[in-house]
Structure 1
Amino acid sequence: MTTNQITTAIANTLTQHFPNIPILPQTGTSSTPGISYRLQSAQLTRERSDRFVQSHAFEIRWLETDNIPVNLPDELFEALETIDVEGTPYRATELRWETENDTPRMLVYYTMRTTKMSESAPTMQQLEQRPTALKATRE
């Protein structure tokens, strides 16, 4: 799974759960009320030679600091707990609602373990056996 795929899945999930609220990628300051999302970090760590851990951290913000709906944290938790990435459900490993400089935000973490599939070796081919007759010789 790529970082773009998971970012798109978050945008799609937010759009489905909040159809009447603008969903925007965070690009700095915005005067438009709504919900913004941004990737905070993405990591790929090797555990073994064939196993990796992918970690993604996202920040979700309500863009109006004065007018925050009371049930917004619960609705965001529900929407982002499990997202669908191209037909595969991914569950958040951590969801946290906090305030930074008097601005509320939700931090969402997704962690996936992946295994590198080894290339398959060519299969053994079948050997053909033919019976042979041995001649006995006398000396």
Structure 2
Amino acid sequence: MTTNQLTTAIANTLTQNFPNIPINLATGPASPDPDFKGITYRLLSTQLTRERSDRFVQSHAYEIRWLETDNIPATLPDELFEALETIDVEGTPYRATELRWETENNNPRLLVYYTMRTTKVSESATTMQHLEQRPTTLKAANE
């Protein structure tokens, strides 16, 4: 699974669960445009760590914000938790390893973490085959 696939799955999940609310990809870490309404999401970080020679851990952290900080629906935190706890990435469910609310400059944001373990599939090696050896006689070149 790629980071783009996971980000697309988050966008699709938000769109499906909040059909009447604008969903936008945040374009940078700066404060969002005050004219925008609805929900923004953005990738905060991604990391790939090797556990063994053939096993890796992918970690992704996302930020979800409700842009109308003075008008937050009472059910929004629970609805976001429920929507993002398990998401479908191209037919495979992925469960968040952590969901938490934080306040940054008096603006609430939901941090969502997804962690996946992946295994590198090695190519199948050709097995050794039986080698047949026949005795041969070497003849001298002068004969």
Same fold, judged at TM 0.5 (above): yes
CA distance in 1, matches of 2:22, 2:38: 5
Residue 32 of structure 1, CA deviation: 1.7
CA distance in 1, matches of 2:47, 2:94: 16
The answer to which of 27-36 and 11-20 deviates more is 27-36
Residue 122 of structure 1, CA deviation: 2.2
Letter matched to residue 59 of structure 2: S
Identity %, equivalent residues: 82
Letter matched to residue 98 of structure 1: E
Q: Secondary structure at the match of 1:92?
A: strand
CA distance in 2, matches of 1:104, 1:39: 16
The answer to which of 113-122 and 10-19 deviates more is 113-122
Letter matched to residue 18 of structure 1: F
1:52 to 2:30 alignment: no
The answer to which of 21-30 and 102-111 deviates more is 21-30
Residue 19 of structure 1, CA deviation: 0.2
Q: What's the counterpart of residue 133 of structure 1?
A: none
Matches within 5 A, 1:1-139: 1-27=1-27, 28=30, 29-30=32-33, 31-123=35-127
Letter matched to residue 19 of structure 2: P
What is the TM-score normalised by the length of structure 1?
A: 0.87
CA distance in 2, matches of 1:14, 1:124: 53
Residue 121 of structure 1, CA deviation: 1.0
Letter matched to residue 62 of structure 1: W
What is the TM-score normalised by the length of structure 2?
A: 0.85
CA distance in 1, matches of 2:7, 2:21: 18
Q: CA RMSD in A?
A: 1.6
